[in-house]
Amino acid sequence: MKRKPILILIFISVIVLLSNCKKHEIEENGALDYLTKRTWKRAAVDKNPGSNPLLNIYFLPLECEKDDVYSFCIDGTMKIDNGTEKCDAKENKIEMGSYDITKSEITIKGVKYILTEVSPQQIKYVSLVSSQVGYYYAVMLLQ
């Protein structure tokens, strides 16, 4: 008789332990999953302005960038399909870039940026820009 409650307790403990492991694994891979599970386009409206660094200016997409599609691969590479609207006649249809979540870095068209947000709603990356009065952060968005 005492054996049955002990078995039930062990069974419940195993379920709780396994469910915690799975949840932890999902949390660890969250940013990678957000990046790789869908495609992204440049955006103009920040869905989370609270994550911006101080002294920032949004760099809105140019008309020729609005049809560009960003795809992130699980191996740390990314592909940019520059769409039909070209910013430059010499622009390649497909360009490659890279990212490193652990270093919070993304490299697009040879320029390295700081990843400040990776969420299901948007990717935010910034670059430090010097000006005559000091510096500011250029903020770019993908949604």
- For the whole model, what pTM was predicted? 0.76
Over residues 87-126, the pLDDT tens digits come to: 988 889 999 999 999 999 999 989 999 999 999 999 999 9
Which of the 8 DSSP states describes residue 49? Answer: G
Q: Could you tell me the two tokens for 143?
A: 């949604």
Over residues 15-43, the pLDDT tens digits come to: 544 444 444 344 456 999 999 999 999 99
CA distances from 103 to 6, 107, 116, 143 (A): 47, 12, 11, 21
CA angle, residues 74, 99, 136, in degrees to nearest 5: 150
